[in-house]
Structure 1
Amino acid sequence: MSLPAILAAARPTATGLVATITEEWMQGRTSYGGLSSALALEAARQVADDLPPLRSATINFVGPLAGEVEVATRVLRRGRNATWIAAEVTSEAGIGLTATFVFMGPVESSLHLHDAPPPQGLIPVDEAAVLPEHLGPLFTRNFERRFAMPRGDDKVPELVWWVRLKERAGIDPMVELLLCADALPPGVMPLMSKTTAVSSMTWIVNLLTPAPVSRDGWWLLRAAGNYAEHGCSSQDMGIWNADGEAIAAGMQSIALFG
């Protein structure tokens, strides 16, 4: 099932929704993190009709999620400019994900800083080589993926890909962005054995625009590892649209089992 189909089949509850994570969205024994995060955001968006744009998300990947899941939300605080909403996704196995979303409207400011350029040497999306569809976990079949940087001789802890969701009609743009934003393997993956298991633990996403838009649905994703010791890795993450405009910045901690 595509995300539009999953959302169409979801059942509303008093505090959120109940949805089914199908096999094609799995990553090992748990849901693809972008999907479970997108479900949490979709439920949070339904708390009120007049929420301002999403500006930040803090997500914890607590345990495995599969099959029928329930998303429960609650308002932590609603101020004059910003609203904090917590979401919890659970399945038969227990809590799988917790998230805090911050929605905030524009305010007057004298500071204007835009220092988030895309990586240099990018291959335009129309010229980029396509990743074989069979490479990666099951959930990757829901995306089109292309290499965004020339292949180099040296292995570096960085991945830069073009990513586009195959079926996205009717999805809120911010939900679509969060769904796509976690589609890269860890940035340190080029330095690792192919058999090494990995698991995301925490994820912070800061939105650099109140309305994410990209030409033809393509997003440029970058994951750059900066630390890996004793089974823990930290990475910086960035997202740009097809025209090179900065859309989001983030950080993720990842467990490395090997």
Structure 2
Amino acid sequence: MSFTQTLKDIEQNEWIDIPAGWLQGRTIFGGLVAGLLMHKAVTTINDPSQHLLSVSVTFVGPVQEAKAKMTAEILRQGKSVTTIEVRLWQDDAVQSILLASFGMQRESSIHVRNEIQAPDYPAVDELKILPKNAFAPQCFQQFELAWAEGHYPCSASDKPDFGGWFRFDPELHENRVMSVADLMILFDVWPPGVLPMFKSMLPASTLTWHVTYVHPIQHQIHDWFKYKVVTEYAGEGYATEYAHIWDADNRLIAISRQTVTVFA
């Protein structure tokens, strides 16, 4: 089953088939899981005037390439803001939970534009697109990444963090208008910020993920975006990091914060 067909099934059914080609080790890529949950939230609310404000995802357990049940509950629908919870179930257990707030734009006298400026990376055609080799997770095949700063994962670097350009692979994904579900999937393709410090291939996975959306998405899925991650703290088997995503015009789109489990 294709990714686009899975999205259509979410709109019509409670049970879906997780599409093939998205494995990350022995489980499904967390970005895809978050994107499926987000699509369920958007279609449940079904109100174009409600824009995503923020979302939190907890990856409770591993999601397998199999059938999954998705349930959604609108917790509160106020005059401006709607809060919704979506759960993904497999084997009669909750494996992932999304909690999101959508809201309508309101008039306000408060205006602050203290946004972090986009890094001045070289153009994509001046950089090398990372090869899709056998050592990369299966889900990596769905995207194109061009490293612009920092060290590669598992390079025994004495410093974490990196940044670069990224997008969906045009050879695998037909161009169309990007949704917030698409952006959730794309956003998560970068590995944890501490991975350059790894000396060998060892596990690291997101435990909790919070995203705040700054500017509405007005893009196609073939468009390039910039990404930069900063690790604030790592120790005792966990890491805390934040990241920003900008479009090609250096417009800040979203801010991410993750708690990562580290097995190195």
Normalised TM-score (structure 1): 0.90
Q: Which runs of 5+ in 1 are unaligned?
A: none
**Aligned position for 2:241:** 235
Give the one of 224, 249, 257 matched to 2:230.
224
CA contact (8 A) 2:62 2:95 kept: yes
3-state SS, counterpart of residue 209 of structure 1: coil
The answer to whether the Cα contact below 8 Å between 2:175 and 2:221 also exists between their aligned partners in 1 is no
Amino acid at match of 1:156: K
Sequence identity percentage: 26
Secondary structure of the 1:193 match is: coil
Report the Cα offset of residue 171 of structure 1: 6.0
What is the match of residue 178 of structure 1?
A: 184
Aligned-partner residue type, residue 6 of structure 1: T
Corresponding position of 2:24:
27
Partner of 2:38: 41
Q: Does 1:249 align with 2:255?
A: yes
Partner of 2:74: 75
Q: Give the conservation status (yes or no) of the 8 Å contact 1:117–1:244.
A: no
Partner AA of 2:129 in structure 1 = V
Q: Is the 8 A contact 2:118 2:251 kept in 1?
A: no
SS of the residue aligned with 1:148?
strand
Alignment correspondent of 1:142: 142
Moved more, 70-79 or 86-95: 86-95
Distance in 1 between the 2:92 and 2:263 partners? 22
CA distance 1:31–1:215, change in 2 (3 Å): closer
Q: State how many pairs are aligned.
A: 255
Partner of 2:165: 162
Paired with 1:123 and 1:21, the residues of 2 have a C-alpha distance of 37
Instruction: Give the Cα–Cα distance (whole angstroms) in 1 for the partners of residues 76 and 174 of structure 2.
Output: 31
Q: How big is the alpha-carbon RMSD for the aligned residues of Structure 1 and Structure 2?
A: 2.3
Cα deviations across residues 75-131 of structure 1 (Å, max 9, x unaligned)? 000000000010001112621110101101111122222233345341222322111
Q: Which amino acid aligns with 1:35?
A: L
Report what 2:55 is aligned to.
57
- Residue number in structure 2 paired with 1:6: 6
Q: Which shifted more, 151-160 or 41-50? A: 151-160
Structure 1 residue identity aligned to 2:73: R
Superposed displacement of residue 148, structure 1: 2.4
Give secondary structure in 2 for the equivalent of 1:72.
Answer: strand
Deviation at 1:18, TM superposition (A): 2.4
**CA pair 178-108 structure 1, distance change in 2 beyond 3 A:** same
For residue 211 of structure 1, give the secondary structure of its aligned residue in structure 2.
Answer: coil
Note if contact 1:146-1:163 (Cα within 8 Å) is conserved in structure 2. yes
CA contact under 8 A between 2:177 and 2:221: conserved in structure 1? no
TM-score for both structures, normalised by structure 2: 0.88
